[in-house]
Chains A and B, each alone.
Chain A
Amino acid sequence: MNPSQTPLSTNSAQPQPSPLSQTTSGPNTLDIVNLRKVFGGRGKGGGVVAVNDVTFSIRRGEVLGLVGESGSGKSTIARLIARLYQPTSGEIRLNGEVVPHKLGGRGLRQLRRRVQMIFQDPYASLNPLHPVSYTLARPLKIHRLARGNTDPQVRVLLERVGLTPALTYAAKRPFELSGGQRQRVGIARALAAQPELILADEPTSALDVSIRLDVMNLMLDLKDQEGLSMLFITHDLAGARYMSDRVAVLYAGTLVEIGPAVQVIDQPQHPYTQLLKSAAPKPDAGLTPDHIEARGEVPDLSTLPPGCPFEPRCPYAMRECKDGLPRMYDVGGEHQARCLLHDPAIKARQAVAGYAP
């Protein structure tokens, strides 16, 4: 099977255009170019670089998985795209159009129709005082997608996310719903505005294991049936592999690896991705006695080294790694990794020394 295909699609029997030859089919749903966010420390040096010149794209009908530890800047990227935060610099394009840096009033409202978020904690993301019908009717009214009575559209939305009988659910308040049901309401709210892009920030990690898969399947169905594009943020590699067409790995605000999901997760090319993978539970293995080679813990963004951000923890770190941020190297197909081990000169040197990671 072509690894770049989505085996999970219900229509996976049909041949899909290979991403390599994807020169047709119009602009990407989302392009972010050198997106940067610095928190605090106005002006002089200081401040925390939460997102460090990140560049990636999401194609139409594609799910991009964004993986990383907590504090790596995953949520910040989603909030920058939704303009809950103002980017420090960089460019965001939706369907090829640049989203202006200064945005207010109508422009902002329009952006917020085209881009919708699904939040991590379904217990916190619904106002406890409003019934489901209110929560779902608001986007319809804000964006003038309904004339007069919104009830029929609310009913359709609830049915789309599998909350039937819709009439019963429309009248409920969040405390009457289970976690999975709440997250379905959260998904329905995102769908209500008929967005082009959905930003799902860890939509399943607050859910119980037994219902996680149902929520993921719902999102995959919506993607397949309605051609939605999605940024799926998670810290769980297996979940990213299940949900995504491509996966991007973030470390300390920096994009360190990106490529087709199966390739990135089955053969990770960046030492950090390898570390993440080796840390995931392996029920069939038995706890391996050999310690994974990783020193230290989650990095402190205010004291990052000048070179490769993973250098202090990297088992393969070399002298050159401190010199500057490595660039992204092509490692096969559409797969790229930001690690000097893929630098041709260094590779050659190591081959001579008989050293291979």
Chain B
Amino acid sequence: MNGVRILLRQPRSLVGAGILLVLLLMGLLAPLITPYDPNSLEFGPFMPLSAQHPLGTTAIGQDIFAQLLYGARLTLLVGAVAGLIATILSVTLGLTAAYVGGWVDEAINALINVFLVLPGLPLVIIAAAFLRGGGVWPVILVISLTGWAWGARVLRAQAMALRERDFVQAAVASGEGPGRIIFMEILPNMTSLIAANFFGAALYAVLSEAGLSFIGVGDVSLVTWGTMLYWAQAKGALLQGAWWWVAMPGLGIALLGTSFALLNFAIDQLGNPRLGWGSVKSPRRKLAPTPPAAGNALLAVRDLDVGYVTPQGTVRAVRKVSLDVAPGEFVGLAGESGCGKSTLAFAATRLLNPPGEVLGGSVSLAGHDLLSLTPEALRQVRWKEFSVVFQASMNVLNPVLKIREQVYDAMQAHGITDPARLDARARELFALVGIQIRYLDSYPHQLSGGMKQRVVIAIALALEPKLIVMDEPTTALDVVVQRQILQEIAEVRRRLQISIVFITHDLSLLVEMSDRVAIMYAGELVEQAPAHDLYAHPAHPYTQQLMKAFPPMTGPRERRSGIPGRPPSLSETLPGCPFFERCAVRMPGTCDVKPLETFTVGEAHTVACFLYDPAVSPATKELALSHALNPVIAKEVQLESVPNSALH
């Protein structure tokens, strides 16, 4: 299984499993390792360490080494069986509560809460005291009955979440009965949690057993590590200098506990991978800085290469992309999901997190070589020269701070501290993005999603940056709200003359908003043009198909087609055009072998497609167009886009 394989790669789980294996073997192979019976009293009391008795003997002459080995048996048995029973109880009760719901859920939940608030150890002690001397099973029973509640609560919550998941709803909607829903749909998705829960309960059981035995409430005639501790303490082992009588079972318990805890944690992490995330860093480029680009561009991205370094290889998400943004310009960046839009935005603003890495190229913003700035210098530039708004950024607002404090934050960090000035600026910003001033003194949860997103935009505007990068700032919002916010953005930009890089997959929106549009495909910038040129004369076959992939709001209703196929994997190195596999007018022998190049087809209009390569013979192009897989696109290319000079 996949999960097991991942576990075996984790040092934590390996160590945990290793310790457990050793302890298990100790118990199982005890008769082979030592010739003595742990209960035989045939030796003298308190014998010192010797080859015959590696750990000496007890006060009544039992071999301590034999006790340690045989003690592992019962201790592990208690852990495993009590862990198992507690887990079965947690799973049954937790799942029943979650699945059946209603009063059953309320009753079970009440029971869980009662067990959770009852102080565990005293309860165990009282119960065990009644069952005293009855062997190991009463102890196991008592421990499992007190140890299930925590797991039941976690499993109930998880099962409730899963119950609401679409795939469970889909199974219900297709007529599946409760048994299959629980055992085939919900339970299999909880295995890691259940396994983690088992080790957690086993840990609790081992520790409880040791505790009970140590204070003499268990059955002290049995040999477990707990009872060894009890006898060692009762017979004054330490006074006799036989510290190992205490230390060895103690060590055993500690090791077993560690192993269970490690396994619990490792499995838990498997089901909840976010626990392992590192902190946010802004890696500085490792390459020698290239000189900043010339020209009057505010933002100049040159041959930027960005990759994600993973164990499976490097995913090259941005490939030699060059993009200029003039002061005051609104540049739209479009492309299907996974084509590298956000990576480009993150890398160009030094917000890329590992394993993302800039592999080459340069970014200059208002004269700063952004990729080689020190973190301190970067902090100065951020907010003042540029700011960013991301799709889920309305969720970055701190829920326990008033909106006002969060709006002040960036300004205060850049030295504006006068309260009157801060307040005036905050009011100004709110007016700018269309929120009522009174919301300054609200908490984020009192605002709707649309208002929160406006607050985030207001914060991004706080220091009047020259550039704002917006990555799908409105996709999570409703159309009407989205439109209102977009109008505010357009208005603010006109008034303040800021540049905006706006990323979305919604091409029609972009064409409407932007001065210039850049289209990305599989990590490459495949076309760039003034928005209305791009709309009227898309040159790249991908852009042409993308334009046609939206149902129109007006005009005759007729069938349109999407773009069949899917983009190539970004971990591949492609010899030629990345769109080759899906292109309706591809030229085999050219497009799939020549390294991709960009050609100019009009004023400020560039396209990375060999149909516009003067070096490719017109006959080849004609042939491709006449054999096109998609005649509509071929016609379009022929009629509108391919400059005559390129065809003939």
Which residues of A pack against B, CB within 8 Å? 1, 7-8, 69-70, 82, 84, 108-109, 112-113, 115-117, 119-121, 124-130, 138-139, 142-143, 178, 180, 186, 189, 192-193, 208-217, 220, 235-239, 241-243, 262, 265-266, 275-287, 289, 291-292, 294, 297-298
B398 at the interface (CB under 8 A from A): no
B557-595 toward A: CB 8 Å interface, digit per residue (1/0)? 111111110100000000000000000000000000000
Residues of B within 8 A of A279 (CB): 479-480, 482-483
CB distance from B648 to the nearest CB of A (A): 31
The segment out of B76-84, B169-177, B400-408 that lies at the interface is B169-177
> How far is the CB of A123 from the nearest CB of chain B, in Å?
9
A189 to B185, CA, bound (A): 15
Known contacts A117-B169, A289-B491, then 12 further A-B pairs from the complex at CB < 8 Å, ordered by chain A residue = A69-B480, A112-B175, A127-B188, A127-B189, A138-B174, A178-B566, A189-B174, A210-B336, A213-B549, A238-B552, A276-B479, A283-B511
Q: Given A112-B175, A242-B551, A283-B507, A217–B481 Cβ distance below 8 Å?
A: no
Give B470 Cβ to nearest chain A Cβ, in Å.
15
Given A125-B166, A286-B512, A294-B484: A281 and B506 within 8 A (CB)?
yes
Inter-chain contact A214/B562, CB cutoff 8 Å: yes
**B-side contacts of A236, CB under 8 Å:** 479
CA distance A68 to B26 in the complex (A): 67
Q: How far is the CA of A143 from the CA of B479 in the complex (A)?
A: 40
Residues of A within 8 A of B174 (CB): 112, 116, 138-139, 142, 189, 192-193
A240 to B172, CA, bound (A): 27
How many contacts A-B (CB < 8 Å)? 179
- Select which of A120, A138, A216, A235 is within 8 A of B479 by beta carbon: A235
- Contact assessment for B551 and A216 in the assembled complex, using a CB-CB cutoff below 8 Å: yes
Asked if A280 and B170 make an inter-chain contact with CB atoms under 8 angstroms apart, the answer reads: no
Residues of A within 8 A of B169 (CB): 84, 117, 119, 125
Q: Which residues of A contact B508 (CB under 8 A)?
A: 281-283
- B546 interfacial contact with A, CB 8 Å: yes
| A117 in contact with B175 (CB, 8 Å) | no
In the complex, B448 has a CB within 8 A of chain A: yes
Cα A179 to Cα B551 with chains together (Å):
19
Task: Judge whether B51 is part of the interface by a CB distance below 8 angstroms.
Answer: no
Which residue from B172, B189, B505 sits with its C-beta under 8 Å from A209?
B505
Shortest Cβ-Cβ A-B pairs, 3 listed? A242-B551, A213-B562, A112-B175
Quote the shortest CB–CB distance from A79 to chain B (angstroms): 8
Contact of B478 among A113, A212, A242, A298 (CB under 8 A): A298
CB of A10, distance to nearest CB on chain B (Å): 8
Query: Are the CB atoms of B176 and A138 closer together than 8 Å?
Result: yes
Given the complex, which residues of A lie within 8 Å of B482, measured CB to CB? 279
Tell me if B506 and A297 are in contact (CB < 8 A).
no
Taking CB atoms, residues of chain A closer than 8 Å to B566 are 178, 180, 211
Q: Is the CB of B167 within 8 A of A7?
A: no
Contact yes or no, A235 B478, CB < 8 A: yes
* Beta-carbon nearest neighbor of A275 in chain B: B480
Task: Indicate whether A214 sits within 8 Å of B564 (C-beta atoms), given known contacts A138-B176, A265-B553, A287-B513.
Answer: yes
Give CA–CA (A45, B483) in the complex, Å: 36
Q: Note all chain A residues with C-beta closer than 8 A to B480.
A: 69, 275-276, 279, 292, 294, 297
Q: Of residues 436 to 489 in B, which have CB atoms within 8 Å of A's CB atoms? A: 448, 450-451, 478-484, 486-487
Say yes or no: B557 contacts A7, CB within 8 Å.
Answer: yes
| B75-94 Cβ-contact flags toward A at 8 Å (1 or 0) | 00000000000000000000
Neighbour of B553 across the interface among A84, A241, A298, CB < 8 A: A241
Q: Is the CB of A127 within 8 A of B167?
A: yes
B557 x A262 contact (CB < 8 A): yes
Q: B522-537 CB contact bits vs A (8 Å, 1 = yes)?
A: 0000000000000100
Task: List 11 A–B pairs whose Cβ atoms lie within 8 Å, in order of A's numbering.
Answer: A108-B175, A127-B171, A138-B174, A142-B174, A211-B566, A216-B551, A220-B559, A242-B551, A282-B508, A282-B512, A292-B487
Residues of chain B contacted by A70 (CB below 8 angstroms): 478
Q: What separation, in Å, do the CA atoms of A277 and B553 have in the docked complex?
A: 9
A69-B479, A238-B551, A275-B480 as given contacts; A208 in contact with B337, CB under 8 Å? yes
Task: Identify which of residues 496-516 in chain B touch chain A, using a CB-to-CB cut-off of 8 Å.
Answer: 505-509, 511-513
Q: A131: shortest Cβ distance to chain B, in Å?
A: 12
| Given A127-B185, A275-B480, A297-B481: A84 and B172 interface contact (C-beta under 8 Å) | yes
B175: which of A113, A129, A281 is its contact (CB, 8 Å)? Answer: A113
User: Do B478 and A69 touch across chains, with their CB atoms under 8 A apart?
Assistant: yes
Contacts of B167 in A (CB 8 A): 124-128
Query: Are A241 and B490 in contact, with the CB atoms below 8 A?
Result: no
Asked whether A217 lies within 8 Å of B559 as measured between CB atoms, the reply is: yes
Residues B336 and A238 in contact, CB atoms below 8 Å apart: no
Question: Chain A residues near B512 (CB, 8 Å)?
Answer: 281-283, 285-287
Q: Say yes or no: A241 contacts B557, CB within 8 Å.
A: yes
Interfacial residues of chain B within 173-217, with CB under 8 A of chain A in the complex: 173-177, 180, 184-185, 188-189
Q: With A and B bound together, what is the CA distance between A213 and B550 in angstroms? A: 7
CA distance A212 to B563 in the complex (A): 9
User: Given the known A-B contacts A69-B478, A280-B479, A285-B512, are A238 and B553 also in contact in the complex, defined by CB atoms under 8 Å?
Assistant: yes
Residues of B within 8 A of A265 (CB): 553
Least CB distance from A31 to B in Å reads 20
Q: In the bound complex, what is the Cα–Cα distance between A298 and B484 (angstroms)?
A: 12
User: Which single member of B481, B549, B560 contacts A298 (CB below 8 Å)?
Assistant: B481
User: In the bound complex, do residue A209 and residue B176 qualify as a contact, i.e. CB atoms below 8 Å apart?
Assistant: no
Q: Are A189 and B176 within 8 A (Cβ)? A: no
Contacts of B173 in A (CB 8 A): 82, 84, 112, 115-117
Smallest CB gap from B330: residue in A: A287
Instruction: Quote the shortest CB–CB distance from B90 to chain A (angstroms).
Output: 21
Docked CA distance A309–B513 (Å): 32
Alpha-carbon gap, A212 to B546, bound state (A): 11
Assembled-state Cα–Cα distance A74/B508 (Å)? 25
Residues of B within 8 A of A286 (CB): 512
Residues of B within 8 A of A210 (CB): 336, 545-546, 549, 562-563
Query: With A69-B479, A276-B480, A283-B507 in contact, is A142–B486 under 8 Å at CB?
Result: no
With A209-B506, A281-B509 known to touch, is A189 a contact of B170 (CB < 8 Å)?
A: yes
Name A217's contact: one of B184, B506, B556, B561 (CB within 8 Å): B561
Min distance, Cβ B89 to any Cβ of chain A, angstroms: 25
Q: Does B554 contact A (CB under 8 A)?
A: yes
Residues of chain A lying within 8 A (CB to CB) of residue B563? 210-211
* Interchain CA distance A296-B511 in the complex, whole Å: 27
A294 CA / B507 CA spacing, docked (Å): 25
Residues of B within 8 A of A220 (CB): 559
Residue of B with least CB distance to A215: B562
A residues near B487, Cβ cutoff 8 Å:
287, 291-292
Q: Kindly list chain B residues whose C-beta atoms are within 8 Å of the C-beta of A121.
A: 166
Are B553's CB and A7's CB within 8 A? no
Task: Name the residue of chain A whose CB is nearest to the CB of B339.
Answer: A208
Contact B561 A214 (CB under 8 A): yes
Q: Are A124 and B165 in contact (CB under 8 A)?
A: yes
Residues of the A chain whose Cβ atoms lie less than 8 Å from the Cβ of B184? 127, 130
- Please give, as numbers and ranges, the residues of chain B lying within 8 Å of A127 by CB-CB distance: 167-168, 171, 184-185, 188-189
